[in-house]
Amino acid sequence: MSTPVLQVKDLKRDYHGSGGLFRPAKVVHAVKGVNFTLEKGRTLAVVGESGCGKSTLARMITLIDQPTSGEILIDGKPVDATHGVTREMRQKVQIVFQNPYGSLNPRQKIGDVLAEPLLLNTDMPKSERQDRARAMLAKVGLAPEHFNRYPHMFSGGQRQRIAIARALMLNPSFLVLDEPVSALDLSVQAQILNLLKDLQDEFGLTYVFISHDLSVVRYIADEVMVMYYGDVVEHGSRDAVFGDPQHTYTRSLFAATPRADVESIKARLARKAALAG
């Protein structure tokens, strides 16, 4: 049996607020003991409303924030953040952020953006770094002439393609995708989601997909984990969670989200026209 790409054991994150003369310091339990295992080539979607703890969880598993307690294992090896995360361990996880406009250095040409992770983390010669960057540019559907252009010359969807390419340059064990399509138009969202699926099929990629958009989650996920005020209230296969949600919060979350399929949209428009008439 192969070693899971990512294991999270009883992961917790507390934030301590300031107190007063007659008031004790407040402790916010942002993540309250999360457990899951993620196998290679699969996508775990973490869903919930704002403030549920999903972004805090993302920051811990990308080694940006240190957990208050619990354990993270990547490729079977525990992450020891108390003694500093090694460069090798940081290379194993990469993140793609929500905003493609803010995640790229506007002063760098795209070729340099893609080659930079190799420059900082490997001894690869410049010519090889550039060859790898050009090859990755093609993998995400961009043209050779884009190599020497600046970020402001690209659309939002193209910039997110560049961000995905940069995240893949170090061959990470898994990617954390933090609302990667929510800032894009619907047609562009579909293109980026299809790209992520194609790359996953080609390279056997493993994703943790953070989202509040259930129609996107239903399309991309193999497993779904629902969070509510720091707790995991439901976790199962996509078909099980969407087909027969067990927790009250999951059912209310699904009920409050308009379905995005064509027939549901037509039905909503028909009801709206009937009311207007």
Percent of the chain with pLDDT over 90: 71
What string of DSSP letters covers 51-100? TSSHHHHHHHHTTSS--SEEEEEETTEE--GGG---HHHHHTEEEE-S-T
Mean pLDDT of the chain: 89
The pLDDT confidence band at residue 255, using thresholds 50, 70 and 90, is confident
Fill in the DSSP letter of residue 151. G
Q: How far is CA 137 from the centre of its chain?
A: 20
Query: What is the pLDDT, as a whole number, of residue 142?
Result: 96
Task: Give the containing element (helix H, strand E) for 176.
Answer: strand 174-178
CA proximity to 70, closest of 27, 44, 36: 36
Count the Cβ atoms, other than its own, within 10 Å of residue 218. 18
- Residue with the larger pLDDT of the pair 90 and 228: 228
Closest among 88, 2, 10, 87 to 41, alpha carbons compared: 2
Mean pLDDT of all residues in 159-171: 96
> Of 240, 172, 177, which Cα lies nearest the Cα of 46?
177
Residue type, 99: N
For residue range 43-88, list pLDDT tens digits in order.
Answer: 999 999 988 999 999 999 999 999 999 999 999 999 976 667 788 8
b/e per residue 37-55 (b: at least 16 CB within 10 A) = ebeeebbbbbbbeeebbbb
Distances (CA, A) of 230 to 57, 140, 192, 207: 9, 35, 29, 21
The whole-number pLDDT of residue 20 equals 65
According to the model, what pLDDT value does residue 19 have? Answer: 67
Element (H, E) at 136: helix 126-139
Structure confidence at residue 265 (pLDDT): 44
What is the DSSP pairing of strand 69-74 with strand 77-78? antiparallel
- Residue range 39-67+77-258, CATH number: 3.40.50.300
**What is the per-residue pLDDT across 112-141, written as a single tens digit (0 to 9) for each?**
999 999 999 999 999 999 999 999 999 999
Say what percent of the chain tops pLDDT 70. Answer: 90
Which tens digit of pLDDT belongs to each residue from 258-271? 554 445 545 555 66
